[in-house]
Amino acid sequence: MTLIPPVTPAPAVAPVPALKLKANVKPRVVQGHPWVFTNEIEGLIGAEHDGTAIECRDRTGRFIGTGIYNSKSQIVWRRLSRNRITLDAAWIRGALERALARRAPGTARRLVWSESDELPGLVVDQFGDALVVQIQTLALDRMTPVISDLLAELLKPAEIIFRNDANIRRLEGLPLETHTRSGQPWAPRWVNIEGVEYWLDLESGQKTGFYLDQRAQHPLVAKFCAGKRVLDAFCNQGPFALHAARAGAAYVLGLDSSEEAIAAARRNAEHNGVKAEFVAANVFDWFNDEARSTETPWDVIVLDPPPFAKSKSALPGALRGYKELNLRALKALAPGGVLATYTCSHHMQDAELRSVLAEAAADARRRVQVLEFCHQPPDHPVLLTMPESEYLRGYIVRVE
């Protein structure tokens, strides 16, 4: 008699937790947006799942995707994938490899940009042989050692600097901190970006150390500056001014309200051997000074202000501010002059920016022609279903 051994049942697999969308709302996630807000779901599933990957389903039970969950955040769920996946080292590796494959070669560039690269809350910028990393979601913050090891393996940087000091981390219940992978300080140093060297403090400078999203605009505007009088308003570290001076501008003036930024711009100009003047001033007050009315008109003006509309409710006031600023610039330009004007607020759509410029042109009684439509570079990719991923817009115009 042959004995048949008993079959050992497979261990039970715990079901993956899932959020369910409310029946009486139309959340944007159904149309492809990667976020779900707390007021769009039937109920939270418990803080014990915070920082983990869970599923989301619509009101009929249809699978929407796998995403990261945090009951402490208003954005309670952020999609990782439309498929069923596990948030582990293999998933992180694959997402990083896909992001890197989409980038053009370079030594100063954005390598990973959050939802646009399937890694919500993760930003990675490269500055020469150093990487600067920001992590702004609980789930990926818990994966910091994995992210650090994978970036070191894939890119072999001299250092990885974690700039987890943005206030947005508080919305996820995360502390603010800055540290390096090695545990050693990373001293400020010169970094070449689009042919100009900047003294960058990657551990404590603004954002990740430099506004890489505008780097393609600097040489683009410089094409109009040879032999011209150039004003760079909101100049920060001076990149527009430095490129204009290097292109042969007759005179360059940079303005910024930050004394620290002006000092950095002066240092950069001296190091690069170009002539440009930098003055600490409130740009609105500077334009409104009666003394400006007797000055020689400018040939090129750059307006690259910080975001005036940091929330949707602030948009009406921001539109008035943008109009006033552009009106002053248009009046200060010589006939045939060039205005390069930008906004970095995702709340201001292109139609609103164009309307502001048109109103300013009408009030200034100037004829304005568009020379260039400006957008953020390809290494800051825009998700078609996520308007928030498109935030940098601008125009280069000729003013008659």
Known catalytic residues are: 344
Burial class of residue 281 in the structure, from the number of CB atoms within 10 Å of its CB (0-12 exposed, 13-18 middle, 19+ buried): middle
> Rounded to whole angstroms, how far apart are CA atoms 175 and 166?
9
| DSSP per-residue string spanning 195-235 | TEEEEE-TTTSSTTSS-GGGTTHHHHHHTT-TT-EEEEET-
Specify the pairing of strand 189-193 against strand 196-200. Answer: antiparallel
Are 167 and 178 a contacting pair, CB within 8 Å?
A: no
The pair phi, psi for residue 272, each rounded to 5°, is -85, 0
Kind and range of the H or E run holding 5: none
Alpha helices per DSSP H over the chain: 89-101, 138-141, 144-155, 217-222, 239-246, 259-272, 283-288, 315-332, 350-364
* 3 state DSSP class of 261: helix
Q: How far is CA 109 from CA 102, 104, 123, in A?
A: 12, 9, 11
> Rounded to whole angstroms, how far apart are CA atoms 115 and 77?
12
> Rounded to whole angstroms, how far apart are CA atoms 80 and 78?
7
Long-range contacts of 276-281 (CB under 8 A, 24+ apart): 276/238, 276/241, 276/242, 276/244, 276/245, 276/252, 277/251, 277/252, 277/253, 278/235, 278/238, 278/241, 278/253, 278/254, 279/253, 279/254, 279/255, 280/255, 280/256, 281/255, 281/256, 281/257
> Rounded to whole angstroms, how far apart are CA atoms 229 and 296?
9
> Rounded to whole angstroms, how far apart are CA atoms 100 and 388?
22
* 3 state DSSP class of 111: strand
The pair phi, psi for residue 4, each rounded to 5°, is -95, 120
Place of tokens 């001296």: 270
